[in-house]
Amino acid sequence: GIQVEQSPPDLILQEGANSTLRCNFSDSVNNLQWFHQNPWGQLINLFYIPSGTKQNGRLSATTVATERYSLLYISSSQTTDSGVYFCAVEQRSNYQLIWGAGTKLIIKP
Amino acid sequence: EADIYQTPRYLVIGTGKKITLECSQTMGHDKMYWYQQDPGMELHLIHYSYGVNSTEKGDLSSESTVSRIRTEHFPLTLESARPSHTSQYLCASSEPTQPRETQYFGPGTRLLVL
């Protein structure tokens, strides 16, 4: 099956800093999504981005499907951005989501 | 905002007990999913459903069972809980849209089996 790798596994930043999270996947996919899981466990969909670039406030994402990677950018980080960021790709064979191991982000005040 | 609910939020139970984790959604979504997630780790799909009377096993082998008698309700049952079942269980639902579907997640049930 598809392998999804996220980097870095952990990231600690000061409030106001910018960050880039990466997601690599091993095969062609139907789509790719980025999720944020807050410290209380709630998962929220951030982007549905099979290709191209999207922006939502301080967050933006770019997927280069031909090179099998996606990047999530967080600008001017706030403490509320802390949590785990997951990348999930939809397999072409059975349409199921395969999840990466996540990037744990800690924003210090 | 997604309207998907899970109960209980936390459960501590002894080995051998039968438990049912509830999941309900008020969005009328056909597709529903159960994931298992150990703390800080990736999600693993254990069951999914495309609609009423449809249930399928996911990638991760699980001793749990599910049922889908009503569109809005997708309970997960463990007939005999074991310490290895200790984990967080996340329920999700989705409806195909343009572009493709987005999954909405419930708050999760944290299960501890003693």
pLDDT at A16: 97
Reported confidence tier of residue B1, pLDDT bands at 50, 70, 90: low
pLDDT tens figures, B9-38: 999 999 999 999 999 999 889 999 999 999
- Judged by CB atoms closer than 8 Å, whether chains meet at A44 and B42 is answered as no
CA angle B24, B27, B28 (to 5 degrees): 90
pLDDT one-digit tens code per residue, A59-94: 999 999 999 999 999 999 999 999 999 999 988 877
Please give the mean pLDDT across all residues of chain A.
94
Q: What six digits make up the tokens of A94?
A: 């059975």
The residue among A43, A81, A89, A102 whose CA lies nearest residue A63 is A89
The pLDDT value recorded for residue B98 is 44
Q: Do A48 and B100 touch (CB under 8 A)?
A: yes
Token pair of A22, please? 């990466």
What are the tokens at B110?
């944290």
Q: Which residues of A touch B92 (CB under 8 A)?
A: 43
Say if residue B108 is exposed, middle or buried (CB neighbours under 10 Å; 0-12, 13-18, 19+): buried
Binary contact (A96, B102; C-beta < 8 A)? no
Residues of chain B contacting A48 with CB distance shorter than 8 Å? 99-100, 102
Give backbone dihedrals phi and psi of B26, rounded to 5 degrees, phi first: -110, 15
Q: Do residues B88 and B36 touch, judged by C-beta distance below 8 A? A: yes
Query: DSSP letter string over B2-18?
Result: --EEEE-SEEEE-TT--
B100 falls in which pLDDT band (50, 70, 90)?
low
φ and ψ of A8, to 5 deg = -75, 165
Give the Cα separation of B88 and B79 in Å (integer): 17
Give the max Cα distance, chain B.
Answer: 45
Mean pLDDT, range B41-68, rounded to an integer? 90
Residue A86, both tokens = 């997951």
CB atoms within 10 A of CB B47: 23
* Residue B21 Cα distances to A18, B4, B96, angstroms: 39, 13, 25
Q: How far apart are CA B111 and CA B106, in angstroms?
A: 15
Which is more confidently placed, B102 or A10? A10
Q: How many CB pairs under 8 A join A and B?
A: 50
